[in-house]
A = this chain, B = another copy of it.
Amino acid sequence: MAGKGKVTVIDIARAAGVSKSTVSLVLQGSPLVSEATRIKVNSVIRSLGYVYNRGAANLRQSRSRIIGIVVNDLTNSFFAEMAVGMDNIVESAGYIQFLAHTGENLDRQRAVISTMHEHGIAGLIVSPAHGTDPDDFQPLVDAGIPVVFAARYVSGPHLSSLVSDNAAGLAMVVRHLAGMGHRDIAFVGGRPDISIFTERLGGFRRGMDEAGLAVRDQWVFPALPSRAGGREAVGALLASAQRPTAIAAFNDAVAFGVCDGLRAAGLEPGRDVAVTGFDNVIEAASTVPALTTISVDPHGMGQKAAQLLLRQIGSAPAPEHIVTPVRLVVRASCGAGQANTRIQEISA
């Protein structure tokens, strides 16, 4: 309640008639202080409106409780959910997070990382922007600060990662579509310069191969990994001589765009053309038609990534690379019957 000058541990000590060291011990819940003084000190702390200065504390102990989280695109609900998953774990482990959005801008990302370093983070989780140079993390690694990549991945020494099994996911999609009788399947969306695209396309090819189907080059159609990208791409695709009967989209956002584009061309997704996504964002369950997709549980991935980081903060940082399994969620958009769909949705 004091005016300008902040209340410090010394003020508390004076008011409680003990030394500042004792106050410090109370603050960190040490068992070395007697019950009586603990109570007295705590009451003074409350009545003076003291607020702990963590900056000063970890200047001395040089170990902070701040975790940096850098996300390429928070407006993409996949990454937003992942960030929330991280937040849950980080927060309940008694840490607090610096969260920054880079918007795929490398300079921004570099700036953000070094500012975080200057603030003394205990660890860093990054979903890196396109074209990220692993050297950007070297200063952190040199300082013994663990770094974990999530969702996306850049390889470098002493860097950990947690990504989902992109290839397996697309192979599952293709297997399912082939099982439903589709032979003409297109792959739409994504930018060839990122690892995820290569992995998913690889899975697509593997799935086609296993099903004994040929991949038509003009049906592998890169596009912006957004709703708009999907919508545009499908326009071009429908203009081609022979039309695919099924479209495996790079992710859910693209898949929604593909549905928009099909409707705009008078085709009903799910009935006239099968459409599948990847990510299983929340909306996937509730759009019409509900989207068949690969569930990668961004929230869970965020949690796992945070747990991985916390593990590394404690011990000597031995880098780990985790690939999380994915799961096919069948809904109406791939042409599965309504009844079937409803059941699957509930299980999702």
Confirm or deny: A297 has a beta carbon within 8 angstroms of a beta carbon on chain B.
no
Determine how close the nearest CB of chain B comes to the CB of A338; give it in whole angstroms.
Answer: 10
Instruction: Give the residue name and chain of the B residue nearest to A262 (CB).
Output: B288
Residue pair B120, A53 in contact (C-beta under 8 Å): yes
B residues less than 8 Å from A114 (CB atoms): 51
Task: State A286–B142 Cα separation when bound (angstroms).
Answer: 46
Flag A48-76 by CB within 8 Å of B: 1 or 0 each.
01011111101100101010000000110
Instruction: Give the residue name and chain of the B residue nearest to A4 (CB).
Output: B144
B residues less than 8 Å from A165 (CB atoms): none
Residue pair B80, A283 in contact (C-beta under 8 Å): no
A interface, over-half SS: helix
B residues less than 8 Å from A115 (CB atoms): 96
Residue pair B74, A91 in contact (C-beta under 8 Å): no
Task: State A317–B114 Cα separation when bound (angstroms).
Answer: 31
Determine how close the nearest CB of chain B comes to the CB of A59; give it in whole angstroms.
Answer: 5
Count, chain A residues at interface, CB 8 A: 59
Task: State A139–B7 Cα separation when bound (angstroms).
Answer: 12
Partner of A143, one of B51, B75, B99, B142: B51
Residue pair B87, A83 in contact (C-beta under 8 Å): no
Confirm or deny: A224 has a beta carbon within 8 angstroms of a beta carbon on chain B.
no
Residue pair A118, B231 in contact (C-beta under 8 Å): no
User: Which of A100-108, A201-209, A236-244 is found at the contact surface with chain B?
Assistant: A100-108
Instruction: Give the residue name and chain of the B residue nearest to A108 (CB).
Output: B91
Determine how close the nearest CB of chain B comes to the CB of A4; give it in whole angstroms.
Answer: 8
B residues less than 8 Å from A6 (CB atoms): 62, 143
B residues less than 8 Å from A259 (CB atoms): 288
Confirm or deny: A323 has a beta carbon within 8 angstroms of a beta carbon on chain B.
no
Partner of A91, one of B54, B100, B257: B100
27 pairs from A and B in contact (CB 8 Å cutoff): A1-B142, A6-B62, A49-B142, A51-B117, A51-B118, A51-B139, A51-B143, A52-B118, A53-B59, A54-B120, A55-B55, A74-B84, A75-B80, A77-B80, A87-B100, A91-B100, A96-B98, A96-B112, A96-B119, A97-B99, A227-B286, A228-B286, A231-B286, A256-B283, A256-B287, A260-B286, A260-B287
